[in-house]
Amino acid sequence: MARKGEQFRGLTVAIVTPFVNGKVDEAGLKKLVDFQISQGTDGLCPVGTTGESPTLSTEEHEQVIRVVCEHARGRIKVMAGTGSNSTHEAIKLTAFAKECGADGAMMVAPYYNKPMGEGFYQHFKAITEAVDLPIILYNIPGRTAKNMEPDVIARIAELPTVVAIKEATGSMDQASQVLALTNLTVLSGDDSLTLPLLSMGGSGIVSVVGNIVPADMKALINAFSAGNLKLAQELHFKLFTLCRDLLGVATNPIPIKAAMRLLGRDTGELRLPLTPLSPAEEARLRTTLVNYGLLK
C-alpha cells in the first residue's frame, strides 16, 4: 500500500531552539540548519517538544519557523511544529508556516484539555479546512495526557491533507494498529525504537539524538532500506546507549542541550521551568559522549 506522506520519509531532526541571554539566537539557529544539511538529514522540525515550544511566545514561535524556513528553503524539507491545545492558535501557526514556505506542519495532539475522540477529529478537521498544508500528526500521550487511539487516528487519516504521524506512544502494538488501519506514513517518535518501527513498515524517525549524530541515524535508516539488517542492528545498538542516556538522565531537551554545549554546538541555555543538569548528571552524560567517541 502506498503511503500518503512519503515525502517525509527518512531522517527528520527535531532541532533545539538556541538561546543567548534569554533570546532566540537566530545566528545559532542558522548554524543548526547548515549542520543538518551538511550531514545529509532529510528534514527539520523546528519548535517541537525538543525546540521548547511550550515556553516560546507566539512571536518567538513564528520567529523560529520563519528563520528556519528562510534559511533552509530549497535545501532541506521543513515540518514546522504548529500544534496547540487551542484550535484557533493551531490554525494561526499553521497558516504562518505555510506563508513561510514550510513543506508540512507537525501537530501535536491537543494537550492538557484532554479532548474526546470527536474533539481530536474536529480539531484536525478544522485545521485542514482552514489551511492547505500537509499535516503530520504527533501522538505523545506522555506529554499530552491523552492518547489518540488507533480508531480515532484512522478517522483523522481520512482527511486528505493529513499524511503522516509521529508515533511516540512507545507502544509497538499501537504503531502496528496505525500501520494496519491507515495509509499514513508512520515516523518513529522514539530514537531507540526506529529500527523496530522500520521493520513493521515505518518510514523513518523524527529524531532528538539527530541533533548531535544525524549521520549515524541516517546510516541506520539507509542500511535497513538497503536490506543490510546486520549493519542496521549494529547501528541500533551503537545508538541505543546514547539514546537511553540522553533521554533517561533528565527530561528532553535538557540532556540534548547539555550534550550540544559540551560539544561546542550550543550555549546549552534553557528556559524555565527546565533547569540544567546537576554536576553528577552532567558527568554521566560526559562519560556517555566519551564512550560514543564524540568527546575525548
Residues labelled as active-site residues: 138, 166
For residue 264, what are the contacts with CB-CB under 8 A and spacing of at least 6?
Answer: none
Q: What's the chain's Rg over C-alpha atoms?
A: 18
β 10-14/43-45 pair status: parallel
H or E element at residue 242: helix 229-248
Cell 507566539 maps to which residue?
A: 58
Q: What's the CA gap between 86 and 78, in Å, rounded?
A: 23
H or E element at residue 69: helix 58-72
β 23-24/19-20 pair status: antiparallel
Give ∠ CA 75-6-163 in degrees, rounded to 5. Answer: 105
Residue 293, Cβ neighbours under 10 Å: how many?
9
Q: What's the CA gap between 223 and 280, in Å, rounded?
A: 36
Q: Among positive and negative, which fits the CA dihedral 206, 211, 213, 218?
A: positive
- Grid cell, residue 160, equals 486528505
- E-strand stretches of 23-134: 23-24, 43-45, 77-81, 104-108
Cis before 134 (ω within 30):
no
